[in-house]
C-alpha cells in the first residue's frame, strides 16, 4: 500500500494520466483533418499506441497503488510485462513494414526508451513484491510513472504535429541545420509524404497537362 508522500505522488500521477488520456482521444479525433503524416501508416500507429500505453501505464499503476491494502508492485509488474511485449510487437511491425532508412533512428530511439521504462518498472515491481516496505523500490516505480507521462506527452505532440521531437532533431533545428529528410520546420516535405486517396491521379494529370 502507498502511504505518505508517495501517496500524494501517485494521486498526482493518476490525475495527470487521466487528463492526458482524455486529451489524447481529442487529439486523435482532430488529427485526421491535418495533412497526411510522413512515413508509412504503421509508424503513426506505433506513435498512437505508445502514447496511449504510456498514459494508461501511469494511470493504471497509480490507481491500483492507491487502493487500500494493494501492493503497488503487482500492477507495476503486470504493466511492465505488457509494455515490454508491446515494444517487441512494435519492433516486429516496423521491421515487416520496411520503412525508409531515414525513419529508423527515430523509431529505434522510441523503442529503446520504452524498453528502459518498462524494464525498470518490472524490476521495481518485483522488488516491491519481495519487500513491500521498500522505499527505494517505490521510488523507482514513482520515477518510472513520471517518465512514462513525459514520454507519452512527447509522442502525442509528435503525433499531432507530425514532427520529430527527438533530441538530435531538436538540436539541429536550434542551430539552424535541417535534419535529414525533414523540412526547415522539422516536418517532412510534402513530396516525401504518402499521397492521400485520390490525390495521386490528380497530381499526375496536372503534371501531364
Mind listing the pLDDT tens digit for each residue in 10-53? Answer: 999 999 998 888 888 877 776 554 444 455 677 778 888 888 89
Q: Are 104 and 110 in contact (CB under 8 A)?
A: no
pLDDT reported for residue 32: 53
Could you tell me the three cell numbers for 109?
530511439
Percent of the chain with pLDDT over 70: 66
Per-residue model confidence (pLDDT) at position 161: 56
- Quote the cell numbers at residue 145: 510513472
Number of domains in the chain: 1
| Boundaries of domain holding 71 | 4-208
Low-confidence ranges of the chain (pLDDT < 50): 33-37, 165, 178-181, 184-187, 189-209
pLDDT at 86: 92
Q: Of 34, 48, 39, give the one whose Cα is nearest residue 194.
A: 39
Amino acid 124: pLDDT: 93
pLDDT for residue 56: 92
Amino acid at each position: 500500500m502507498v502511504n505518505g508522500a508517495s501517496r500524494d505522488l501517485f494521486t498526482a500521477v493518476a490525475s495527470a494520466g487521466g487528463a492526458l488520456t482524455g486529451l489524447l482521444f481529442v487529439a486523435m479525433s482532430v488529427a485526421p483533418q491535418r495533412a497526411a503524416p510522413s512515413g508509412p501508416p504503421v509508424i503513426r500507429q506505433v506513435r498512437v499506441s505508445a502514447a496511449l500505453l504510456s498514459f494508461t501505464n501511469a494511470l493504471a499503476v497509480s490507481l491500483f497503488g492507491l487502493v487500500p491494502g494493494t501492493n503497488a508492485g503487482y500492477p507495476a509488474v503486470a504493466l511492465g510485462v505488457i509494455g515490454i511485449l508491446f515494444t517487441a510487437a512494435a519492433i516486429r511491425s516496423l521491421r515487416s513494414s520496411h520503412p525508409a532508412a531515414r525513419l529508423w533512428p527515430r523509431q529505434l530511439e522510441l523503442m529503446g526508451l520504452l524498453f528502459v521504462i518498462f524494464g525498470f518498472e518490472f524490476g521495481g515491481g518485483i522488488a516491491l513484491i519481495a519487500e513491500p516496505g521498500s522505499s527505494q523500490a517505490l521510488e523507482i516505480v514513482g520515477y518510472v510513472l513520471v517518465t512514462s507521462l513525459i514520454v507519452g506527452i512527447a509522442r502525442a505532440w509528435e503525433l499531432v504535429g507530425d514532427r520529430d521531437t527527438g533530441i538530435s532533431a531538436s538540436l539541429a533545428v536550434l542551430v539552424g541545420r535541417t535534419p535529414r529528410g525533414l523540412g526547415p520546420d522539422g516536418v517532412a516535405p510534402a513530396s516525401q509524404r504518402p499521397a492521400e486517396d485520390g490525390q495521386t491521379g490528380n497530381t499526375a494529370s496536372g503534371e501531364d497537362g
